[in-house]
Amino acid sequence: MTIQISEAEAQVMQVLWERHPQTAEEVCEALSHQGWQDATIKTLLNRLLNKGAVSARKESRRYLYAPALEREHWLASESQGFLDRMFNGRLAPLVAHFSQHKALSKADIAELKKLVKELDDGK
């Protein structure tokens, strides 16, 4: 089952993926640059808890939050969803799109060539 999370919820998850467990106050401090109210961040944490994306355990008078959703699992699901929606599930048109709009650096091109060579050699 894939857990759907919003862009704002993904920012909360990123904080928890980077370091966990954390209290709600620590998550709020980490996201203070967003300009969000603490109540907004706590609401996002609650939504993520209800969706099963984070877990919480009580420690004295506070809760410690940790990701229950693995970043790699979420990233794979989001990536495939993007490919499906925008490029009929195909990677080549995505790369072509970026190459047509000059969004690929020389380092990106070299890395893509290396990946393709590794894929060819693996067959």
pLDDT the model gives residue 116: 87
Closest to 92 in 3D by CA, of 112, 72, 121: 112
SS3 of 70, please?
A: coil
Enumerate residues 6+ apart whose C-beta is below 8 A from 56.
49, 63, 64, 65, 66
- pLDDT category of residue 1 using cuts at 50, 70 and 90: low
The rounded distance, in Å, linking the Cα atoms of 77 and 98 is 21
Closest CA to 30 of 46, 15, 13, 49: 15
More confident residue, 93 or 50: 50
**Close Cβ partners of 3 (under 8 Å, ≥ 6 residues apart):** 51, 52, 53, 69, 74
User: How many other β-carbons are positioned within 10 Å of the β-carbon of residue 97?
Assistant: 12
* 93 cis-preceded (ω within 30 degrees of 0): no
**Residue pLDDT, tens place only, 44-86:** 999 999 999 999 999 999 999 999 999 999 999 889 888 999 9
| Residue-level pLDDT at 123 | 58
